[in-house]
Structure 1
């Protein structure tokens, strides 16, 4: 199959429990998602990701593009200005981008890590 479709990703259920993310001393955010494999490009990580409110550091070292379906918050890249996001926004992260996520309203996004 050359084309995969994620129908109604904004309401997609069930998602897999991927644990928690938090800074020490903060309330952990619940993280869940569903990963999709692209045949012939198994090294590409793509899927749907959801995170409840919380604050945590970005640990992904690869480049990533993400499109937010719902939610709101911010990301502050180390040494740079804060970027605020809401449902409908798209962000691109260069490889080795580190910084601080602050999720204010449960967010759901479509992501591709490459």
Structure 2
């Protein structure tokens, strides 16, 4: 199949449990998702990601594009100003971008990691 579709990704049910993320001394965020494998491009990680409120460090070393479907919070890149986001926003991350996520309202996003 050359084209894959995630119908109604805003409401998609049955996401897989991906564990927790959090800083020591903070309430860990619950992480769920569904990965979508694109035939011939298996090195590209893409899918739906959801995270409950919490604070944690970004650990992805590759470049990433994400479009927020719902939720709100902020991301503070190391040494840079805090960026606020909410459903409808899109972010682009250079490879090796590290920083702190603060999820205020459960977020759901579509992501592509290169």
> Does the TM-score normalized on the shorter chain lie above 0.5?
yes
Q: Which residue of 1 aligns with 2:7?
A: 7
Distance in 2 of aligned mates of 1:13 and 1:43? 25
Residue 107 of structure 1 deviates from its aligned partner by 0.2
Q: Which residue of 2 aligns with 1:92?
A: 92
Q: What are the equivalent positions in structure 2 for 1:47-58 lying under 5 Å apart?
A: 47-58=47-58
Are residue 40 (structure 1) and residue 36 (structure 2) matched? no
Residue 100 of structure 1 deviates from its aligned partner by 0.1
Distance in 1 of aligned mates of 2:10 and 2:75? 21
Are residue 71 (structure 1) and residue 66 (structure 2) matched? no
Distance in 2 of aligned mates of 1:101 and 1:34? 20
Instruction: Give every structure 1 segment of 4 or more consecutive aligned residues whose post-TM-superposition deviation is greater than 2 Å.
Output: none
Provide the TM-score with structure 1 as the length reference.
1.00
Aligned length: 114
Residue 25 of structure 1 deviates from its aligned partner by 0.4
Q: Which residue of 1 aligns with 2:59?
A: 59
Name stretches of at least 5 consecutive residues in structure 1 with no aligned partner: none
Name stretches of at least 5 consecutive residues in structure 2 with no aligned partner: none
Distance in 1 of aligned mates of 2:46 and 2:32? 13
Distance in 2 of aligned mates of 1:2 and 1:68? 25
Tell me the SS of whatever aligns to 1:39: coil
Residue 34 of structure 1 deviates from its aligned partner by 0.1
Residue 40 of structure 1 deviates from its aligned partner by 0.2
Distance in 1 of aligned mates of 2:38 and 2:79? 34
Distance in 1 of aligned mates of 2:88 and 2:79? 26
